[in-house]
Chain A
C-alpha cells in the first residue's frame, strides 16, 4: 500500500502530536508514525516549560523569567532559537516569550474540552508535589493534579492517602518529606497526616499498579467505596486537602476528583508520579484523540525507514510495521523521534547516532558527537543539577528547526525536527521537557506547513 500526504510526522510523543495536530488544523493531509510507547506517556503528566536555568539551582518563579534568561545567555537552546528571526536584537526575549506563550496557550485551548483540562500558564511556575513528598516547579498540570490552596492555607491539613499493596507511593514517607520541606522553608501548611487505604481493586491487596486502580475508578460504582474510606480519615485528622497517587481514572479523572471533593469536603489532588504513569497516559491519549478527530492518520507500531539522505528534499518515507511496509510520498517531514527512550538518538561505543536519517549529532555544547563515546558525555556524579551532557545531545537545527549537517547547512529543505531529538537543552535538570516538545513541535509544524503551502502554490 502506498500513501500520499502533505506532511509525515515521525514520532508520537508530545512534539510529534503537537506538530501533527497543528498540521491538520492547517488543512494538511498528515500521517503520524508512532513506533512504541512515547516518553510523554512515561512522564508525570505535568507540563514543565522551564523550572531552572541550565546548571541553575534556584527554582524559577515563572517560565517567563527563565525564557528571558535563556534569551540572553543560551541562544542555541531550542527556546533561544525562537529568537533567531528577523526581530530586532532588543526584542529577542519578547519574541521568545510570545512564541512560547502562543504554543502553550494553544495546547491548553486544545485540551480544554477534553477530559484532561490543564491548569497554569507561563506567568508563574506551580509547586507540584510528588509521590516522594518532594516539590518541583512546573508550568502546567492537569486540573486533577492541582493542590488548590494547600500551600496558602495556614490552617491547612494535608492527608497523604495511599493504597495497600501499591508500592509506588508510601504516604507516611511522603508526608514526612513534604512537611520537613515546608517547615524548613517556612512554608505552609504545617500539618500533614497519612493513611493507607484498604481498597483491594479487583480483589487484590498486593502487587497493585496505579493503572489498575485508575481502571477500577473509571467505573462509577467503585468511587463511593473510596469516598467513604477517605471521609473517615478526613474526619479523623481534620484534613482540608487529600493527596492521592495519580489513580483517579483514565476517562473520569476530573469527574472523580469533583465527586470526591463533594463527598469528603476536602480538596482532592493527584501527586506527580513515575512510570507507569496514569496522567502521562491520559495526556498521550488526549492528544492522540485530538489528532485523529482533526483528521490525522495515526499509524501505531510503525517506525520510519530512510536509507540515507541523497537529495536535498525528502520525498518518500517508508513506514515499517509488524506485518506490512508502505511507502509514503510526502511534501515535508517532521522528525520527532525523541532521544534515547524514544529511540531517535542512540549511543554505542562508536558514537552518538540519529536513527532514521543518520543525521549529524552534537553534544550539549554543540560539538560533533557522531564518534563520541557516550561515557565521555557523562559526569562522575549520578544526580546533580548539572545533569549529564549526554542527555543534552541530539540534533543541531537552524532557526527554521531544520537539522543541519557539519557544514552548517540544513540536511534537507523540507525536513524539520522537534522535541527531545534536539540538542542543547538538558530537560531532566532544567525541567523543560514537555515545554520544549510543545513549542518546537508547534514551530517545526508551522515551518513545514509554510513550506508545503509554498511549493503547492
Chain B
C-alpha cells in the first residue's frame, strides 16, 4: 500500500494550494479529488482576488487580502487581469458606506500598484462606462485583480506534481482509518479504475469545501459549516468595459464583472441544505440579479444570457446574523483535542486567501511532525510565469492568429511555446476546434497529454472549451474525436463523452434559457439529436443520469 505523509482531500483552490505547499516543503503528498480539479465551489466563483472591500470591519483580513494580491502578482500574473470597477450612485443613500471604504482601500492601494479610490462625475463615469444609467449622481472608481480560478488550481496542482505529489482526480474518499485516535490511512473509490483503493498516511488535510463536515465525520470528528449558495448569470460577451457594483433589491451589493470573454452577473447568497451536486440557479435568483442590476445598467436585459452557475460557500458557522455579516476569515481546525490526531480541517475562507490558508495548515502539519521547513509558495512562480510572452512574435512565427495566441497565453503563460511547437509536425493542428474561445487542436492535444483530463468537461476547465455563446454546439463532437484518439476510447465511450458534456452544459443553460439561446439550443438539438441520433443512444450507451437530472 502506498505511504504518504499527508493526504489532502479536495482539489479546489485550497486543496491544491495545500498540496503544493506541502510538496514544496518536502512532504510526500497524495491529493484526492472526487471529481476534477476546481469542479465545485472554486469553479463557480467569479475569480476576484478581492483586496477585501467587503470586509472593512475586519482590518486584519483586509491586510491579509491585500498582501495575498501582491503574492499572486508575483507567482501567477500570467493568469490574472486587473479590472477597473465603478460603483454608480443613483441617490445619496447609496453612498452611506463609501467614505470608510475609500480610506481603507486607498491606504493599501500603492502596494498593489493601483490608484487610490476616485470619485467620478456623471460625465466621466459615462465616458468610462456608457451603459450606466445616465441619472447617476456620481460614482466610486477603484481597481481590483482577478485570477482564473481554474488556471490557478490547475497550476497549483501541476506544480505540486512537479514537486513529487500524487494528484488523483475522480477518487472519492469513502473512509478514514484511525488507530487509537490517530489517522492511519484513507480508503477511496477510484472512478477511473472502478476499484476501491487505499493509502497509508500520518495526516489528512480536509479541504473538501462544502463537503468538509462529511469528511470530518468519516474520522469521527465534528465540523460545523454554514453552507450558503450563490448564483451567477453569465452573459455572452463583454457587455461592459469595466466591472460595475450595485445595490441589490434588499440592499446587498451585487456585481457585473468582466470574466475571460464573458461578463458575470452575481451573486446571490442563500443558506442552503441541498446537495451541492444537484443545485442549479433558480428562477428567483436569476430575476433577483437582473432586477437589481437593471437600475444601474438599464440595458442589461438586452444582453444574451448564455447560462448560469451555482456554487456553495462553506462559511464559518456563525448563526442568527445575515450571511453578509459572517466573517470572511478562515479557520484551520486541528481535530486533535477532540481525539482525532492528524486531521486538520478548513472552514470559511475566500479564493484570495487560498495560499495563505495552505501556509497556515502546512505550518501546523510541519509543527505536528516536528519538521522545520520554510514556506516558499509566495516566492516561487507557478508554471508558465517565468517570463513575459511576445504574442505578436509567436503569432507570426507559427502562423496562428494573435487572438488565439493571447487567449492561450492567458491560460499557460510561457508554456504556450510547447503547444505551438506541436504544430511544426502537425500543421493541421492549427485548426480551430472551439471557435468561441478560441482553442486550436494543438492546445487540446497538449492539455490532454500534460494536464490529466479524463473527460471533455475536464478539458473545459483547463482550456475553456465550450464556454462561449454556442456552449459546445459546434466544438463538442470535434473535441470528442480528439479526446477519443488521445485516450484511445471505444466508439461507445466517444459517444458517451459527447452526451455527458452536453448534459453538463445543459445544466447551466436550461435555467436561464431565453432569446437567442433558444435558437442556439435548437441548433444543438438539430446536430446531436436530429442528425447525430444520439438522443436515441442513451440506453445503448449505458448513460448514467447526472445528480441534477435525477431531481424531480
Contact = CB atoms under 8 A, between A and B. Distances in A.
Contacts of B515: 346-348
B428 A179 contact: no
A135 interface: yes
Residue among A57, A177, A373 having the largest count of chain B Cβ atoms under 10 Å: A177
A378 interface: yes
Given A206-B427, A385-B535, A341 B519 contact: yes
Nearest to B429: A206
A172 interface: yes
B490 A134 contact: no
B533 A136 contact: yes
A428 B549 CA distance: 20
B512 A375 contact: yes
Interface string B467-506: 0000000100110111011000011101100110011011
Contacts of B521: 340, 388, 390
Contacts of B495: 132, 134, 177
A52 B510 contact: no
Contacts of A48: 530
B522 A339 contact: yes
A39 interface: yes
B503 A341 contact: no
Contacts of A168: 478
A347 B518 contact: yes
Interface of A: 39, 42-44, 46, 48, 52, 57, 59, 130-136, 164-165, 167-168, 170, 172-173, 176-181, 205-208, 272-275, 339-341, 343, 346-349, 373-375, 378, 380-385, 387-388, 390-391, 427-429, 431, 433
List the 7 closest pairs (A to B, CB-CB), nearest first: A382-B506, A170-B481, A177-B491, A136-B533, A180-B491, A428-B529, A428-B525
26 contacts: A48-B530, A59-B536, A130-B532, A132-B498, A165-B428, A165-B431, A176-B490, A180-B491, A206-B431, A275-B527, A339-B522, A340-B519, A341-B523, A349-B287, A373-B514, A375-B283, A380-B548, A380-B549, A381-B506, A381-B545, A382-B499, A383-B503, A383-B538, A384-B535, A385-B538, A388-B521
Contact of A373 (B283, B474, B531, B538): B283
Interface in B433-454: 433, 441
B448 to A, nearest CB: 15
Residue among B495, B528, B536 having the largest count of chain A Cβ atoms under 10 Å: B536
Given A172-B485, A207-B432, A429 B529 contact: yes
Given A57-B539, A382-B502, A206 B428 contact: yes
B411 interface: no
A129 B65 CA distance: 57
A314 B526 CA distance: 33
B552 to A, nearest CB: 9
B109 interface: no
A207 B534 contact: no
B549 A383 contact: no
B53 interface: no
Contact of B494 (A164, A173, A205): A173
A382 B505 contact: yes
A52 B536 contact: yes
B522 A340 contact: yes
A375 B510 contact: yes
Contacts of A52: 536
B510 A57 contact: no
A173 B491 contact: yes
A388 B427 CA distance: 41
Given A43-B531, A134-B533, A346-B518, 15 more contacts: A57-B539, A130-B533, A132-B477, A136-B531, A170-B485, A176-B491, A177-B491, A206-B429, A340-B518, A341-B519, A343-B519, A374-B513, A375-B511, A383-B503, A428-B526
B255 to A, nearest CB: 21
B533 to A, nearest CB: 4
A274 B477 contact: yes
B265 to A, nearest CB: 14
B432 A173 contact: no
A134 B537 contact: yes
Contacts of A133: 491
A369 to B, nearest CB: 12
Nearest to B479: A167
A391 B522 contact: yes
Contacts of A43: 526, 531
B534 A167 contact: no
A429 B535 contact: yes
B427 A382 contact: no
Given A130-B532, A383-B534, A387-B535, A167 B527 contact: no
Given A173-B481, A206-B427, A431 B510 contact: no
Interface string B105-147: 0000000000000000000000000000000000000000000
Contacts of B503: 381-383
Contacts of B433: 167
B430 interface: yes
A139 to B, nearest CB: 13
B551 to A, nearest CB: 7
Nearest to B525: A428
Interface string B282-316: 01000100000000000000000000000000000
B526 A39 contact: yes
A275 B527 CA distance: 8
A272 B527 CA distance: 10
A273 B519 CA distance: 19
Contact of B510 (A179, A208, A275, A380): A380
Contacts of A347: 513-515, 518
Given A179-B491, A341-B523, A374 B531 contact: no
Residue among B515, B519, B522, B527 having the largest count of chain A Cβ atoms under 10 Å: B522
A270 B339 CA distance: 70
Contacts of B519: 340-341, 343
Contacts of B441: 167
Nearest to A390: B518
A177 B477 CA distance: 13
A168 B283 CA distance: 36
Nearest to A184: B540
A428 B481 CA distance: 23
Residue among B430, B494, B512 having the largest count of chain A Cβ atoms under 10 Å: B494
Given A206-B427, A347-B518, A272 B531 contact: yes
Contacts of A274: 474, 477, 527, 531-532
A57 B490 CA distance: 23
Contact of A130 (B429, B506, B531, B539): B531
Nearest to B280: A380
A100 B542 CA distance: 37
B535 A206 contact: no
Contacts of B526: 39, 42-43, 275, 341, 428, 433
Contact of A433 (B431, B490, B528, B530): B530
B287 A134 contact: no
A180 B492 contact: yes
B546 to A, nearest CB: 8
Nearest to B519: A340
Contacts of A136: 531-533
B481 A385 contact: no
